[in-house]
Amino acid sequence: MKSPAPGKNISAAEVESISRNGIWLLIKGREYFLPYKDYPWFKNARPAEIHNVELIRGEHLSWPDLDVDLELESLRQPEKYPLTYR
């Protein structure tokens, strides 16, 4: 029995890798690194929670399991969006 060819990847946002320093995302063909020091919400999250990411309206990232939302523009130009975490 032969398996069918894989379908086209329709996900606009994908977690490529989870490392000890942060996570790598692929969004619309562009890679982004989110270091835990700047995005601490992901540091102790389970891989399944991190992988459950949605791109909403083409510009809004949502991790519903973690209650985390980020604008894509904040990843493109982080200097315009200083993050603070306490």
In this structure, what token pair is assigned to residue 36?
């835990």
In a domain, 29, yes or no: yes
pLDDT in tens, 6-22: 544 445 899 999 999 99
Please give the tally of structural domains in the chain: 1
Establish if 6 belongs to a structural domain: no
pLDDT digits (tens, 9 = 90+) for 32-80: 999 999 899 999 999 999 999 999 988 999 999 999 999 999 998 888 8
Is 44 a domain residue?
Answer: yes
In a domain, 8, yes or no: no
Q: Does residue 35 lie in a domain region? A: yes
Assign residue 28 a region (left: φ > 0; alpha: ψ between -120 and 50; beta: otherwise).
Answer: left
Q: Name the token pair of 80.
A: 């315009």
From CA 62, how far away is CA 84, in angstroms rounded? 19
Is residue 23 situated within a structural domain? Answer: yes
Full domain range(s) for residue 51:
13-80
DSSP state of 76: H
State the CATH number of the domain containing residue 33.
3.30.2020.40
